[in-house]
Amino acid sequence: MPGSAWSKWFQSRMRRVWRVAIVVISLSLYLVPGIVGREPWKQDETYTFGIIQHMAKSGDWIVPTNAGVPFMEKPPLFYWIATGLMRASSGSLRPADGARLATLLSMLITFAAVAATARVISGGARWDTRDVTGALLLLAGTIGLVKHAHDLFTDVGQMGASAVALYALTKIVLIVDDSSPGRLWVASSLLGISTAATFMTKGLLMPGVLGSSACIVPSLVRSCRSRRYMAALLIAGGVALPLMFIWPWLLAERSTSLFETWFWDNNVGRFLGFSVPELGSDNTLSTSLKALFFFAFPVGPLALTTITRAASWRQPGLIVAALVTCTGLVTLCLSATMRELYLLPLLPALTPLGADALPRLPLALQRAWAGLASMVAVVCLSIVWSAWWIMRGPVGQHHWLAPLHRWLPLEYELPARQPVAVLTALALTMAWIAAQRSIARSGSLRGAASWAAALTLGWGLAATLVLPWIDDAKSYRVVFEHAAHAMTTTVPSGGCVTSDGFGESEAPMFEFYTKRQVVGAGTSDSWRCRILVVQTPSATAPARPTWKPFWSGSRPGDSQEHFFLYQKADNQHFD
């Protein structure tokens, strides 16, 4: 090979290696901070961790159980994966950190599938195109995803499976007319497996959305009005249905009532509304609007501009994403139950639609968006670094952060030494500064790149410098460790604790930190317990002649929930 040709080849390879390194570093800075080094946080992480702990201890993989009570809201696939990763990493990571590796895995799958979908829609063979980059930047910059990308709960797993299913369906639509049977069979099988995974992580929502969208596609895409497309869907269904029926069948074999609770109350009932008074989470128009325009910002509003363009409905790749988005949004709006995070499995479909709108944004809007992102980044830099410096000092100086007292306890003091956190925060800060020149030259990606960089910086600084402070406020470790000490000195013999007013978030954490079994008040075994824990305002104090109080506490900074411990009076019989 001539010298000049070899030099060009080498430079080309080094540019690709550098781009891959940039992607790996960027994903690491976005995903890793907040995955490890903290306890389970209220609300969703705590009950999820309780189920995982029970699976690891009991070996029961069929019935998700939280603090001794069957928890039939969701199928167990995500719990299985988290339990396996927690066991595999038990020698090097704390239980909650090990379980949270399932979240990291789900997010890596999500980003990979979104990139693959953007690549196949654009029709290119390369991964380092503006279409792929724009999709990844928009996904990373979604406001509602920044925190949830680090949370231990099933919705993240459902999002990863939905992203793979969207890619597989898009691939089928684009290759059905000119592909070998082998490639179509692989895509169909992948669609079946990923659709089954969406069912096994959360339930019926996404299989219904994906199935409806796949059936509507032929009415809009001429090439899909063929036997090959129908055969592809039949293959996908043939792969998915057995995987979807195994666990429900095993559950019904174990307990018909638990199967009915899962299927009828938590799936049908939440959609139609007859379970909402008991299970909660109703639906209002404001919830759906907030989810789309704030939780899913900026990808939500951008995707809407693409959906409303007639030209978008003439591009087969975008048609699939638009159908999944529209079908999902209509289903969520019709459902009697809605939370903003229910939009997570639709983000992979919203993302390519939003990326398609980026080149059409006016230059003035791009500049304004980038300017807003820079302001957000500077504010995050100023607040988090200042808060870190102040919270390391004496409590008397913490009054400078009084506006944060509503969420974070000012009595807390950060550790004097945080070498890993400080080095990571410095790396984030320097990376953001170094990226500004490239962002300014990124053209139509400038706004998305600047926004994603700002949110990555803000979350990364908070999840490193002040993570112990946030953890102290959002976890139950401190209050329940104090309760454990009080119980040890008062009733050293151990045993069970009966509870009154405990929710699904508090009970598993009480068991985890106190190492005592929680038994619900009024159950057949509660009479054996010598200690009663009461959570207010959900419950009230018991009769004094029967129970004597000996401890009370609450999470730092929490003025709503309070916990009280009572000991059964000596004149009461325990046998």
pLDDT tens for 260-269 read 999 998 888 8
What pLDDT does residue 493 have? 66
Q: Which of 351-355, 491-495, 519-523 has the highest mean pLDDT?
A: 351-355
Averaged pLDDT for residues 332-355: 92
pLDDT at 369: 95
**Domain definitions of the chain by residue range:** 22-360, 363-468, 477-568
- Residue 10 reports pLDDT greater than 70: no
Q: What is the DSSP string of 503-537?
A: -TTHHHHHHHHH---EEETTSTTGGG-SEEEEEET
- Indicate whether 9 pLDDT > 70: no
pLDDT at 335 over 70: yes
Q: What is the mean pLDDT of residues 297-326?
A: 94
pLDDT tens sequence across 532-542: 889 888 777 77
Q: What is the pLDDT of residue 278?
A: 66
Q: What is the 3-state secondary structure (H, E, C) of 528-559?
A: HCCEEEEEECCCCCCCCCCEEEEEEECCCCCC
pTM passes above 0.85: yes
Mean pLDDT of all residues in 191-207? 96
Residue 34, pLDDT above cutoff 70: yes
Chain mean pLDDT for the chain: 90
Cα–Cα distance for residue pair 385/373, rounded to 1 Å: 18
Q: How confident is the model at residue 569 (pLDDT cuts 50, 70, 90)?
A: confident
**Cα(534)–Cα(564) distance, integer angstroms:** 5
Q: Taking a C-beta distance cutoff of 8 angstroms, is the pair 375, 191 a contact?
A: no
283 or 70, which is more confident: 70
Q: State phi, psi for 436 to the nearest 5 degrees.
A: -65, -35
- Strand 518-520 and strand 547-553: the pairing is unpaired
Mean pLDDT of 129-140: 92
- What mean pLDDT is predicted for residues 480-488? 90
pLDDT digits (tens, 9 = 90+) for 389-444: 999 989 888 989 999 888 888 889 999 889 999 999 999 999 999 999 989 988 88
Q: How do residues 207-260 score in pLDDT, each as one tens digit?
A: 999 999 999 999 999 999 999 999 999 999 999 999 999 999 999 999 999 999
